[in-house]
Amino acid sequence: MATRFADAGEVGERLRGVGYLATPMIENVAFLADRLEKPILAEGPAGVGKTELAKSLAAVTGARLIRLQCYEGLDESKALYEWNYKKQLLRIQADRAHEATWAEVEADIFSEPFLLTRPLLEAIRATDPVLLLIDEVDRVEVETEALLLEVLSDYQVSIPELGTITATGPLRPLVVLTSNNTRELSEALRRRCLYLHIDYPDVERERQIIRARVPELDHLLAAQVAQLVGRIRRLDLKKAPSISETIDWARSLLHLHAGSLDQATVEGTLHILLKHERDLDTARRSLQRR
């Protein structure tokens, strides 16, 4: 059986090479997902690096990233496949002119040239290495979630007109599902996955992330940013700052040639970190008291 990683340590080493600092749990789950050929269900608050993990795994394995962005109302025609009805109608008209039988017409129009593949089917049929990212799976309805079960358990898709299409590439697709936990996912879906909870990093790990993503930033300023972000996340906020927003803040400080986080610098750039006026007011009051 072809594999992507020799061990969990290699996962972490290669992820660090593309700027993603993985915890031992992330390394272990990614390694086992490859060996057991099971999807990863990454769950946690928005902005902690779940989607970035999928992108980084695609980068380090040389896989083509196929993304299914989930949303309310997503159905089979957008997730799996649909038939090109306009093209089918044109072919029916052409076949009528040649007096073809209905059996001949049906066999003609329900064939490969008329099939429009969507992300799930595209990943199953791929002959090159792919990583399938099913992003924010908790946004879809339970009925749509059921469509994923066949793909996640057997890496196959059933099309009534064509039969069952099974993954035949040298490597099965690496699959990552992300969830912000806005609704409870079914036990059937969870059972088919390796579970991974990703939370906000502690201060030291966030400092390391900042240094990895913004290496030009002074190490003392990076430590100040990590400490202040950690303090802000403990406040009663509508939306806690994500890791990507922390990195944006660090980059902004670099461009502004900030030497330290004095009061004027923080107040002038806090809007990069927080995106709700109520959160900005809460953070300002807390910082002024300190």
How high is the pLDDT of residue 163? 80
pLDDT tens digits for range 269-279: 999 999 999 99
Separation between Cα atoms, residue 19 and residue 248, nearest integer Å:
15
How high is the pLDDT of residue 1? 61
Separation between Cα atoms, residue 24 and residue 15, nearest integer Å:
12
Q: How confident is the model at residue 246 (pLDDT cuts 50, 70, 90)?
A: very high
How high is the pLDDT of residue 76? 84
pLDDT tens digits for range 206-243: 999 999 999 999 999 999 999 999 999 999 999 999 99
Direct distance between the N- and C-terminal alpha carbons of the chain, in angstroms, rounded to an integer: 58
pTM to 2 decimal places: 0.87
How high is the pLDDT of residue 98? 65
CA distances from residue 214 to 59, 187, 252, 281 in whole angstroms, order as listed: 19, 40, 10, 28
